[in-house]
Structure 1
Amino acid sequence: MKISEKYYIPVILKFWVCHAFAFLWFLFSIYLSLPWINDLSNIIGFVPSILIIAGIAYFPGYLNAFMVVSLLLDKQPKLKIHNSTKPLSILISCKNEENGIADTLKYISQQDYEGEIKVIVIDNASTDETAIRALQAGQDFKLNLKVICEERPGKNFALNHALSIVDTSLVITLDADTLLTRSAVRLLVCRLLSAPTEICAVAGAVLVRNSRKNFWTKIQEWDYFLGIASIKRLQGFYQGTLVAQGAFSLYKRDALLKIGGWDDAIGEDIVLTWKMLQNNCKVYFEPLAVAFTDVPESFVHFVRQRSRWARGMIEAFKQVKPWNQPTVFARYLTGTNLFFPFSDLVYTFVWIPGLILAFFGHYYIVGATFIFVLPLALITNYVMYHYQRKVFQSLGLKIRKNLLGFFAYVLTYQIFMSPISVWGYTQEFLQLKRVWK
């Protein structure tokens, strides 16, 4: 039995309890790192040593400790409403999706939601038969479907065009390569309707569909299943999910209109969510509303996607400053992102070279890193796996056996992610041309 199931603890108190535990871990890390600081200071000086160790161990350790305790204290509120007849609109922005749009529409037609579902497919400057295939699939699956065209390339233009003709109070955005589980729409809507009125959006759980393809998809499966889902659960616990992702999320139409819809940004969903939070529109996460999407299958496409995400975070900082967020939860959750560029720089230019040095017997950096990072990382991943396994069991889904991807994710993922993120920050700093695919 979880602690929070036996005794009711207010969320704000849980928040500070988790910080207290994380701070104790932080102090313990400092104590254990004293020999490391001494050795490294003899080579590069005291201040640079502290900065490097903070980026490698202290900061990640604090965040991981905070997340572990938060997940242990988390108790997802029970749904007060288990179905709804409220009409809603699903917006699907498409660019050259003729091969997959029919499957996406098929799964929409199989939803157990009792309300009317209106589907708007936005053909965003496609050069193939996306619009024709969508219309045909709409007829085949008896959907209330409309296809519109938006010639200006950019997902924000497509979604804003569709939003201008939406006549329902609830709006879902869905990627054209994303398949919904049977109850995904119903659970997403019921979570919103069961929540306090200030909740304006609910992010669904997006997992990997093509995980069997190759090494890159296998490793991403665990990132989505453990990392992204658990971080969203943590953020949703504090009513501040930082990305109601465009791949599958539900919004109140009035909240979208109030902030002017989606900005012209490569991370349009990140900017949108942060602006919602700034306007006292809190954002939940529903782990049971599961959708499966295709992830990049090549390293080049993986780099482009993740660098876009990093660039989108910088775009969000430009639009919304963490200290301007109205709640302590949102200020903390957005504020922690301020440290990611520093941490990624340290990982890229210090930790990775330190890993190479370790192969030659020089343990100035990596040897001590594992004292702080690896044990807590393993505990964190165990806690995340425990929660995600319960989600899958409740949905009647099975976790694929993907041990190679799991160990690659735990042991090597940061080696890829930090340099890719640094490249994304650099792109935004230099205002390089945006590349979506």
Structure 2
Amino acid sequence: MIGNKPIKKHYISINKKFILSITFAFIWLIISIYFSLPWVHDLGVLTTPFIAVVIIAGIGYVPGLTNSFIIMSLLLDRQPKFKTIDPEVPITIIIACYNEEETIANTLSYIKNQIYDGEIKVIVVDNASTDQTDQRSIEAGEELELNLQVIYAKEPGKFNALNEALKVVETDYVITLDADTLLHKLAVKHVVSRILTAPADTCAVAGSVLVRNSRQNLLARLQEWEYFLGIASIKRMQGMYQGTLVAQGAFSLYTTDILKQVGGWPDAIGEDIVLTWKMLRENKRVYFEPMAVAFTEVPSKFIHFYRQKSRWARGMIEGLKAVKPWEQPIKYIRILTGINLLMPYLDIVYTFAWIPGLVLAFFGFFWIIGPMTLLVLPLALLQNYILYVYQKKVFKELNLSIRPRLFILFVILLRNSNVIVFR
């Protein structure tokens, strides 16, 4: 306060935030190139100058550029306060199920525990299950006194199940929830508050999906921090530019009219990715709400983990085929989706240069990974620290706890320093 007048906070427009972030990123790129010239020369002697530049760009230049852009964006990010703290609008939650008789009752119990003033309708879609998913859903709905409806989708495929449910949705907003995903008691309240606060042309809000089976084994613990820091930082940055690239089917809220306008969920491996990009093509906005938290099970076996990552990669390719980056009407979205065109290149360099170079460096051969590579690590460390501070604040407000795992965090730091996951 100055006298009796409140101090006005200076507002920075999205366009200015974008310009500041991209300027900072290119300054970092120029500095990186300057200091890496000896590295380029030495590696070029062993290979060729062209190959040296290709490898070093994939290891240092591109990751450094993207990480520095994310860092500045996160530093400039200020989530607008909710205009509506206690929303009362009715919503529908769709749960597509295939053989989920053992998990569906628990998932429904977390819906029952929601602190939400509006009516919650639940549609469980039995997608050609061979067990008693439908009967267990009905029993659980009656026990919990939920407004629950069970419908059937004979044709296999999650997109079929979701579209069958969409036909009977009568509320203005609809939430999709995976059958193994548990909602925090304030999740619905926060995700609805965000879309009611957002501009009128907002078509979806992605919730914050975290890992609930992290104690199962090392692979699950690695994914816990990947979700907690890596994926969350990307979504938060994308949300700031009003274009979260994936309103994931595991837990997201959509505007029913826009869903129907774009034809519902497409027949695709990554149906949520293609759907989001089609909505963005309609000049709509997609946000991310970090306070709307849900917990899902992640693969605990490597073969299942590999299949999941393969589905995500195929889903991203499907999205790029369905909606080209240059077809996006919002300039920020054109750039963010266009970055995905670099993912195959980064994955190849990571697999065939970064990992072998790390092994060689361990034995004292710094041909690929050397002291100059460390220029990227401070960026990844800073990015993770900034988001850790944000996430810690979110967890404190939601009365959740963070289990520190320094070794896991170090592995994620190495991973995030070279490969940016746009999931």
User: TM-score, structure 1 length as denominator?
Assistant: 0.92
Pairs within 5 Å for 1:144-155: 144-155=147-158
CA distance in 2, matches of 1:376, 1:400: 23
User: Which aligned runs of 4 or more in structure 1 are off by greater than 6 angstroms?
Assistant: none
* Corresponding residue to 1:227 among 225, 230, 233: 230
2:176, 2:252 within 8 Å by CA — same for their partners in 1? yes
Is the Cα–Cα contact under 8 Å of residues 377 and 417 in structure 2 kept in the other structure? Answer: no
- C-alpha RMSD over aligned residues: 1.6
After superposition, residues 391-402 of structure 1 pair within 5 angstroms as 391-402=394-405
What is the DSSP-based 3-state SS (H/G/I as helix, E as strand, rest coil) of the residue aligned with 1:373?
helix
Name which of 220, 236, 246 aligns with 2:249.
Answer: 246
Among candidates 183, 186, 200, match of residue 189 of structure 2? 186
Structure 2: distance between partners of 1:29 and 1:49: 15
2:141 touches 2:148 (CA, 8 Å); kept in 1? yes
Q: Does 1:287 align with 2:284?
A: no
Q: Residue 276 of structure 1 corresponds to which residue in structure 2?
A: 279
Instruction: Check whether the contact 2:176–2:249 (CA below 8 A) recurs between aligned residues.
Output: yes
| Structure 2 match to 1:28 | 31
Which segment is superposed worse, 61-70 or 396-405? 396-405
Of the three residues 124, 127, 143, the one matched with 1:124 is 127
On the 8 A contact 1:221/1:405 being kept in 2, the answer is no
Structure-2 residue corresponding to 1:46: 49
Q: Which residue of 2 aligns with 1:103?
A: 106
1:336 aligns with 2:342: no
Does the 8 A contact of 1:36 with 1:368 survive in 2?
no
Counterpart position of 1:16:
19
Question: Aligned residue for 2:199?
Answer: 196
Contact 2:225 2:409 in 1 (8 A): yes
Q: Which residue of 2 aligns with 1:425?
A: none
The equivalent residue for 2:142 is 139
Instruction: Report the residue type matching 1:13 in the other structure.
Output: K
Gaps of 5+ in 1: 422-437
Task: Please give the alpha-carbon distance, in whole angstroms, between the structure 2 residues aligned to 1:369 and 1:225.
Answer: 28
Letter in 1 for 2:113: Q
What is residue 260 of structure 1 aligned with on the other side? 263
Identity %: 58
Q: Distance in 2 between matches of 1:148 and 1:372?
A: 55
Q: Does the CA-based 8 Å contact 2:204-2:254 persist in structure 1?
A: yes
SS in 2 for 1:272: helix
- Using the TM superposition, name which of 225-234 and 392-401 deviates more: 392-401
Going from structure 1 to structure 2, the CA distance change for 1:414 and 1:249 (only over 3 Å counts) comes to same
After superposition, the C-alpha distances for 1:1-34 in whole angstroms (9 at most, x for unaligned) are: xxxx942111110100000000000001101110
Measured after TM superposition, the shift of residue 355 of structure 1 is 2.1
- In 2, Cα distance between equivalents of 1:179 and 1:135: 18
* Residues 300-315 of structure 1 aligned to structure 2 (within 5 Å): 300-315=303-318
Query: For the residues of structure 1 that align with 2:377 and 2:190, how far apart are their CA atoms?
Result: 36
Contact 1:202 1:283 in 2 (8 A): yes
Q: How does 1:319-330 map to 2 (within 5 A)?
A: 319-330=322-333
Report if aligned partners of 2:35, 2:372 keep a CA contact under 8 Å in 1.
no
Pairing of 1:170-185 with structure 2 (within 5 A): 170-185=173-188
* CA deviation after TM superposition for structure 1 residue 373, in Å: 2.0
Q: What is the SS of the residue equivalent to 2:121?
A: strand
Q: Does 1:407 align with 2:410?
A: yes
Given the two structures, how large is their TM-score scaled by the length of structure 2?
Answer: 0.95
Amino acid in the other structure paired with 1:175: D
CA pair 412-322 structure 1, distance change in 2 beyond 3 A: closer
Residues 230 and 416, structure 2, Cα contact 8 Å, conserved in 1: no
Residue aligned with 2:370, SS: helix
Q: 1:218, 1:405 within 8 Å by CA — same for their partners in 2? A: yes
Q: How many residues align?
A: 414
SS of 1:396's equivalent in the other structure is coil
Partner of 1:160: 163
Query: Residue 102 of structure 2 aligns to which amino acid in structure 1?
Result: N
How far off is 1:53 after superposition? 1.0
Cα distance in 2 for residues equivalent to 1:193 and 1:206 = 20
3-state SS of 2:249 partner = coil
